[in-house]
Structures are given as structure tokens and as C-alpha cells.
Chain A
């Protein structure tokens, strides 16, 4: 049975065009771009071409692009660079709904004596900008706020935030791992100082990331060693993956407008159908302001792991914010920060689509999902009076 992969905020498939570009650099062209001989040295040009493609996707200059090993490294580097560059400033601002790559690094700083402010979000997952501005003081080394949330897809007003912070001279980093390639980002008109990208979220391979650092921003490297990446990130370049990421950015750049429409239509079709045929269902997050590919839906009275494993029987892949899927007993920190009731957090399912999903696949999910929910609700002691699914 073919896999129906609706977990693209976790990772994506490498596109065939990307793989094709990469293959020669995993076999014939194995040289080191730092070498003096042509065999290795010629690869340097290929890396610079990829850098230009990445820069072009986000409206940056190539010299502002640093290749890293993943989104987490980019996030860690950005935060560490900020606190190292401003050793007297001991305050960092972030949000309660960040990815662990930022959140746990801030916890780490807090244990080392830094003051960390975790901004709350409202029921729709939105930030209070006034509160952000009130929290800033002379001691603030960095504000790090994600571009779009991985669980709900909610997009933060990064343009407004970056302008306000830039006026106040506060360094600003955004984890744009979920946003780059999905929505237009133009750093020429967006005064963000640092921005993180992860390759495997946009159809490039795992193990490659990018940290954008705006020209003129103070920067301290995190990984220290050789002179690679202009001395800003040591370690022999992951050439095949860098070339793959370049290609993936080029594809995203060429198809983006078409893709936004396609994904929005497909996602809305799925969401509307599920809302229509399952009672006691809610969408988590700001429905009018989120990534085109993401929907996070809570099914009351049933538990997320049970739903995922039933879907698994049909080779349908999704994810859940339920406690039972996290390996701990704590359900999603994002949904809890939004004040989603526990009953709804346990039954939350995230579907995240990509350009490779088809209308047929979505039809299949729409066909199967209501019966799974109905069956599990029949097992459940809760919500028994609401078992009927009108159109299933």
C-alpha cells in the first residue's frame, strides 16, 4: 500500500530533481573544496552557486548565508552568537511556543544565570506585541521569535516585530524553519538580523541547514576550527547536501505562488470535510493566519496516539500533540500555552501537506478519518451521546 505522507512539518521527501543534482557529489566529485588542486577546488564554485540560490529565495545576499548542519545548529548558533557578542547583556526574550531547538537552549541559558522571558500567546496562538515591547530593556541581548509554528502553522507578524525591534536597536533572530519555501520571505524589506533554515523541511536532505546573518550584525562562531564559511562555521562542507539545498530553494522559488494556492486548497478541503463529518471537532490556531500546508485539529473524546495508529493501518502518516506520543506524560507545550483544554489537546492531530500530496490522497483521508473517529468514540466512555457522524 502506498504511503500517504501528511507529516511534512516533521520532514519532507527529497525531490527527485534535488537528488539528481546531488548524486555526482556523492560519487565522482568527492574532493575537498579547500584543496589547491582543480579536482577539489572546483567544488568551491558549486557551493557558491548553491549559496546564491538560497540567498535568492529569501532576498538575501550570498555572503549573508552560512551553511550549517541543521535547523537546530542554526538556532543554537544565533542565540549563542548574540549572548557572546554582547557579554554584558544578560536577558533573552523568546516565546512559550518555540521549537525545542530554541526553547531548550534558552532553558540552558537560564540555568547559566541568564534572565529569559517567555512571551505567552492567546487562544489563537498569537503574540501580544505590546507585551514584547514592555519586556525589552537595556539588558536584552536578543529576541528570538519563530516565523511560523510547527504544530499549528500559526504565522507571527515578523515584519511588524522586526521593524519595532530594529527601531529600538535590539538584535532579532527568527526560526523560519517552517516558513522558508512555504511563504514568501524577502529580507530586503524585513529587518531581521538572523534567520534559521532547515533543508529537510523543504525537500532537501536531512543534515543541512542555513543561518542567515545580516551584513553588519555582530557574529561569534559556534563551531570553531577551519576557515570554512569565511571562518563563521568550521568543518568540511557537506557539498552534496549544500548543492541539494540550493536546488530545493530554486524549486521552491520557481513554484511558490502556485504551490501556496495548491496547498491551501488541498488543506482547506481536508479540514472542511473533517469539520463537517465529525462532530465535536475544533481547529487549533489562527485559521486566517497560518501556513498554507498545516492544519491542527482536535477530536474530542478520543486520544491522539490511538488515532495515529489507526491511520497507520492505512499507511497514512500524521502527528499528534497528545501526551502518549511525546514519550513523556506531558502533552504539547504549544497547545497548552494556547490554553487549549486538556481534553482537546489529547485528541489533537496535525496534518501537514506538501506539493507531492494529491487530491486522491486527501479524498482517501476524508473517507477513512470519520470512521476511525467514530470507532474510537464508540470505545470511549466520553461524549457517548454524540456518536453520529452525519455524512459518514
Chain B
């Protein structure tokens, strides 16, 4: 049972500004039904003054997602676009008298929908560019978003990032990567020694693949009660078998993709990871 404030409960039970605006000047859409929450924000904007004259929303999600959406529409009405863009996710949470830590991502979703709508009004593309790196594949969270939310909310741990962005809350495989992002963000950068040898012999390659699977890949899988066994290495083909909870997991293709990416990064750019069958 979540400890919601009276304001959250009230905004959930009696949300304000529900629905769409048929002739909206701006529409912002974030999240997806697969991730468990999604928000579509409609704005009416006065062209002369640049002020938001009306705001409405449609939300799929839990009580705090609906409450955050309602709060957002109340907060932006009457503001200019510049003023509206100053609203942070923290402001949305404060408007509701606070949100449980694990629900902060609902306020982040509100802030993102606002950005998306204003970008839409200004004719900018808000969607992540394809070259932007997706860190959390379960919830489609980019490195940029993790950095941005970490800076705005002074987040220093992976769990906090999960609470605010959901990243790392699915299969958990990207948790060490998120940790690296946070370490890089909050500490003075040191140059990293490039240790990857130019050309590997077959023996070196197998040893390196074994080493990386043991130290970099299996601990992450085991933390999620899965596991992996290295079956064979044939040229550039690395043949593995997923074990434990990974067997038959809906996300197993994503898992294999991540393993391949890791091996390409640390061993050789042309590695292909396959399962036996």
C-alpha cells in the first residue's frame, strides 16, 4: 500500500482538465502502454501573448501518474511557454505535497510531456534521435535522460535513477551501466586506459570472452536469478546457452543483444552471439 498524500488522492479521485482539445496548438505524448504508464498532453496557446490558455490530458497509469498529470495541467495554465518550461518534475511532486520515492517517475513523465508538447508547438522534433544511446532497453530510457534527471534532482544512486526514470527496474542488466554514468557524472573524469589489443589470437579471444562473461555478464544475470553458459567460440561466433530464469524469458532476445554489444565493445567489433538452437 502506497502512502499517498491527501492531495495525490484528491487529484486521482477528482482529476482536473481530463480529455482532449480538438484544435490543440500543441500535443505532447510520452510513455507507452507496455511500460505501464503513458501521458498525452494537449495545450491551447495564445499566439499573441505566448500564454497557455488551456491544458488537458489523457493518462494511462497508476494513481500517482493520473494525479501528476492533473497537477501539471493546473500548473501550466496561464503561464507563458518560457515560464512553463521552468516547471521541474520536483515542482509537480511538490504541488501534490510529495510523491513516494518509487513514484517519482510519474512526475518526470509530466515534465517530459510538457517538453514534448512545447517542442511540438515550436515544430521541433522531441523524439530521441536514433543515434542517442538507449541504456535501459526494458523501459527505453536514454543516457541523456538519465543524466538530465540525475542533475535536476541530484540523484547519486542507481536505485534513485530507477525511482525517477524506471531505468534499471526491469531485467536489471543496465544497472552497472547506470552506475558508470553516475560515477562519470559526479566525479572528476579520469582518462581511461585503452587496453583492447589490436588483433587477438583465437586463444586470446576465447580467454577474453570467458573472462568478460564471468566478470561482466554473469553477475548481472545472476542478480536477476538468471544465468549463462558459454558453449563454444567458432571464429566470430560466440555460442551461449541461457540458464535459470533467463530460460524462455520474454526479454531473452534483448539479453542476448546486450551480451553481444558488450562483447563487441570489449573483445572485437564483429562478434555475433547465438544460442545453440
Contacts and interface: CB of A to CB of B under 8 A. Distances in A.
Interface of A: 96, 107, 110-111, 116, 118, 120, 301-306, 309-310, 313, 322-324, 327-331, 336, 339, 342-343, 346, 378-382, 384
Given A111-B222, A379-B15, A323 B58 contact: no
B29 A306 contact: no
Nearest to A310: B13
Nearest to B103: A324
B62 A322 contact: yes
Given A111-B222, A305-B63, A323-B36, 13 more contacts: A303-B37, A304-B62, A305-B2, A305-B62, A306-B62, A310-B13, A322-B62, A329-B170, A330-B170, A379-B15, A379-B58, A380-B60, A384-B58
B76 interface: no
B244 interface: yes
A327 B102 contact: yes
A380 B59 contact: yes
B112 to A, nearest CB: 14
B61 A306 contact: yes
A303 B36 contact: yes
A163 B239 CA distance: 38
A303 B40 CA distance: 15
Given A309-B63, A313-B13, A342 B33 contact: yes
Size bracket of the B interface: 35 or more
A328 to B, nearest CB: 7
Given A118-B247, A327-B102, A379-B15, A110 B169 contact: no
Interface of B: 2, 9, 12-13, 15, 18-19, 29, 33-34, 36-40, 58-63, 65-66, 102, 139, 162, 166, 169-170, 222, 225, 227, 244-245, 247-248, 250
A247 B245 CA distance: 40
Specify which of B18, B38, B62, B65 lies most central, judged by the most chain A CB atoms within 10 Å of its CB: B62
B129 to A, nearest CB: 24
Given A327-B102, A329-B139, A381-B40, A301 B60 contact: yes
A378 B244 CA distance: 42
Contact of A306 (B66, B102, B162, B250): B66
A366 B175 CA distance: 44
Contacts of A339: 250
A163 to B, nearest CB: 26
A305 B227 CA distance: 32
Contacts of A118: 244-245, 247
A378 B19 CA distance: 7
A329 B175 CA distance: 14
7 closest Cβ pairs, A-B complex: A329-B169, A324-B62, A305-B62, A381-B58, A381-B40, A380-B60, A107-B225
A12 to B, nearest CB: 19
Contacts of B247: 118, 120
Specify which of B18, B139, B244 lies most central, judged by the most chain A CB atoms within 10 Å of its CB: B244
B18 A303 contact: no
A301 B61 CA distance: 9
Contact of A303 (B58, B61, B227): B61
Contacts of A116: 244
B248 A346 contact: no
B250 A336 contact: yes
Nearest to A117: B247
A339 to B, nearest CB: 7
Contacts of B13: 310, 313
Contacts of B18: 378-379
19 contacts: A96-B245, A118-B245, A301-B60, A303-B36, A303-B37, A306-B63, A310-B13, A313-B13, A324-B36, A329-B139, A329-B169, A331-B36, A342-B34, A346-B33, A379-B15, A379-B58, A380-B59, A380-B60, A382-B60
Given A301-B33, A324-B36, A379 B59 contact: yes
Nearest to B70: A379
A107 B33 CA distance: 30
A121 to B, nearest CB: 10
A322 B227 contact: no
A343 B244 contact: no
Contact of A382 (B33, B62, B63, B170): B33
Given A120-B248, A306-B63, A379-B15, A329 B36 contact: yes
Given A111-B222, A330-B169, A330-B170, A380 B36 contact: no
Contact of A381 (B29, B62, B63): B29
B40 A306 contact: no
Contact of B58 (A329, A330, A380): A380
A282 to B, nearest CB: 15
B3 to A, nearest CB: 12
Contacts of A304: 62
A382 B12 contact: no
Contacts of B225: 107, 110
Contacts of A328: 169
B60 A329 contact: no
A324 B166 CA distance: 11
Specify which of A301, A322, A378, A382 lies most central, judged by the most chain B CB atoms within 10 Å of its CB: A382
Contacts of B37: 303
B248 to A, nearest CB: 5
Nearest to A345: B36
Nearest to B244: A110
A329 B62 contact: no
A336 B250 CA distance: 8
A79 B88 CA distance: 51
Nearest to B18: A379
A107 B244 CA distance: 8
